[in-house]
Structure 1
Amino acid sequence: MTVRTTGDEWRCDAVFDPPLSEADQEGFDFLMALEPLFTLYFDEGSTILVDVSTTDVRGRLTLAVHEPETTEPAGTRRVRP
């Protein structure tokens, strides 16, 4: 995956590089339907939670730093309709 920043806020565009196979795309689509919250792992060992959304271009994603709602009790997760 190639990631690049798009502005002052922690939001960026990403693209699968190389593109996903059909089977991998199906798996990714399944994960996105469950919960579009992923962990990015960086080479130096740090991590960050990101919300992922798809764009109109196949294989292109938008990532934004995950900011939990203050009303969410610890240990809960969002469920998308």
Structure 2
Amino acid sequence: MTGFGYSWLDDQLEKAKLPRPKLLDREAPRDGPSFAYEALNLVDGNRSVQDIGNQLTATVGPVPIAEVADFLATLQRVGLLEAR
């Protein structure tokens, strides 16, 4: 969602007056993949927030489930994800 110095998500957050989810700024250990990037990759319509949090913990590093839930809810609010 970021390229050439522009962040679509940051733009949408500003327009909607929503705070930036903490998961976006959580740093992975040992130069690992981004928590937010991997969380979005795990969204498939079948996994629960808990499933996604567990997978992130297993593959990227420990993460509070509340941060995962907030990130996904924010993506829903800006129209990137749909509720099932």
Is the structural similarity TM-score above 0.5? no
Larger Rg over CA atoms: 1
TM-score by length of structure 1 reads 0.27
Structure with the higher strand share, 1 or 2: 1
